[in-house]
């Protein structure tokens, strides 16, 4: 994978031969693609073995850049492009939603006969944009639970996945630090559709009885991908193990951090000679009882509070510059035990490098 860097814009040219094997079967699917940041769904072949497009493209917001050149607009426009190109289905699981541009794209999709379904946290249902979408006939379901439907993912035509820390709101796109990652991979999308169906069709949210995710590990030649959902998949245990595997560095971006066991793993890594650095959202740290930031700082780790007026809303852990864990999952007991959340853990140096660039930018402007 090679990257051509131009200021804050990154164009990636990816040529991958990908072999995907699930942990439940010896059957494998060969995927091969030559992709230049595709913005429209690519056609699925009909023969087997099949050549299925595969791509991972991260997008980061940057509150320091405003106006039409703001990176947030690139995210919004890219999602709109994918929705405008849809011909089958769009499924949205979003904690909060207020972006008119994406709302308009969803309305146009329904007018073309595309099936549009939405799951949101019930506290967001009274928002102007969601009310407008409901009036046009789009199915919008609230979780109606005390816990949060905290996912932030969109699945398009059962092939394209957008997921990360970004709620589809103006503040999230323009004022806060966020990441949203575009992935083209049908086998991974199937996991997200399974969880979406549990919420939308079966009305199962939060602590309602749900089975653990059947397939959590995928091997894409040269790329290892893990996918977990909470509260069913014990994400904290996997993250603790991941931190424990670090040999050189652990870099953390955290909106909310109150998981003592994960904090202990960071301290232990630091004592073992691993470079541990982090940036935590200042407002959330001040508001949260039991926030682990003071303890991490007291232990001598290089942790800082963010320096932005908006939120440092990314939830990510970067291990040894090679592996990234990211998603909607805050590092809290509520995320682990109550809320609907999702996490991806991807081992790919090119992807990790993009996260490291974002981490360095945020760390440099944070408050020591």
Q: Residue 345 belongs to a domain with what CATH number?
A: 3.30.870.10
- Sheet containing 316-319: order of strands: 217-220, 223-230, 341-347, 323-327, 316-319, 249-254, 275-280, 302-305
- Clarify whether 315 is annotated catalytic: yes
* Whole-number pLDDT of residue 221: 63
- Clarify whether 320 is annotated catalytic: yes
Q: Which domain holds residue 252?
A: 225-364
> Do the Cβ atoms of 14 and 1 come closer than 8 Å?
yes
Q: Is the residue at 143 inside a domain?
A: no
Q: Is the residue at 190 inside a domain?
A: no
d(CA 312, CA 175): 9
d(CA 251, CA 254): 10
- pLDDT tens, position by position, 227-277: 999 999 999 999 999 999 999 999 999 999 999 999 999 999 999 999 999
Phi, psi of 179 (to 5 degrees): -135, 140
* Whole-number pLDDT of residue 210: 83
Residue stretches of the chain with pLDDT short of 70: 1-54, 221-222
Set 204, 315, 322, 338: catalytic member: 315
* Whole-number pLDDT of residue 339: 98
Set 313, 322, 338, 353: catalytic member: 313
Q: Is the residue at 74 inside a domain?
A: no
Q: Is the residue at 99 inside a domain?
A: no
Q: Is the residue at 318 inside a domain?
A: yes
d(CA 166, CA 173): 7
Q: Is the residue at 273 inside a domain?
A: yes
- Clarify whether 313 is annotated catalytic: yes
Q: Give the bridge partners for 59, in sequence order.
A: 180
The domain tally of the chain equals: 1
Q: Is the residue at 278 inside a domain?
A: yes
Q: Is the residue at 78 inside a domain?
A: no
Nearest to 279 by CA among 240, 247, 307, 259: 307
């Amino acid at each position: 994978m090679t990257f051509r860097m131009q200021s804050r814009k990154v164009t990636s040219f990816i040529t991958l031969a990908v072999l995907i094997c699930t942990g439940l079967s010896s059957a494998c699917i060969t995927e091969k693609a030559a992709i230049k940041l595709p913005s429209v769904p690519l056609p699925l072949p009909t023969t087997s073995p099949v050549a299925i497009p595969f791509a991972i493209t991260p997008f980061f917001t940057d509150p320091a850049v405003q106006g039409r050149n703001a990176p947030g607009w690139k995210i919004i426009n890219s999602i709109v492009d994918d929705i405008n190109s849809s011909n089958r289905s769009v499924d949205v699981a979003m904690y909060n939603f207020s972006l008119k541009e994406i709302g308009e794209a969803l309305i146009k999709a329904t007018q073309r006969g595309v099936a549009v379904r939405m799951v949101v946290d019930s506290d967001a249902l009274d928002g102007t944009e969601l009310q407008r979408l409901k009036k046009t006939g789009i199915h919008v379901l609230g979780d109606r639970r005390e816990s949060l439907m905290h996912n932030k993912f969109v699945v398009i035509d059962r092939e394209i996945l957008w997921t990360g820390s970004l709620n589809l709101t103006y503040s999230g796109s323009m004022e806060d630090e966020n990441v949203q990652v575009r992935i083209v991979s049908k086998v991974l999308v199937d996991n997200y559709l399974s969880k979406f169906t549990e919420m939308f069709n079966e009305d199962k949210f939060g602590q309602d009885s749900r089975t653990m995710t059947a397939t959590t590990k995928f091997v894409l030649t040269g790329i290892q991908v893990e996918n977990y959902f909470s509260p069913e998949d014990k994400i904290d245990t996997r993250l603790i193990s991941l931190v424990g595997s670090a040999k050189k560095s652990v870099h953390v971006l955290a909106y909310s951090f109150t998981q003592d066991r994960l904090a202990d793993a960071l301290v232990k890594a630091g004592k073992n000679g691993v470079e541990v650095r982090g940036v935590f959202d200042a407002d959330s740290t001040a508001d949260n009882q039991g926030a682990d930031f003071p303890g991490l700082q007291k232990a001598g780790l290089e942790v800082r509070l963010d320096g932005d007026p908006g939120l440092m809303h990314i939830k990510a852990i970067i291990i040894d510059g090679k592996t990234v864990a990211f998603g909607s999952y805050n590092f809290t007991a509520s995320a682990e035990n109550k809320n609907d959340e999702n996490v991806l853990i991807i081992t790919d140096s090119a992807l990790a490098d993009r996260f490291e660039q974002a981490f360095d930018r945020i760390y440099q402007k944070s408050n020591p």
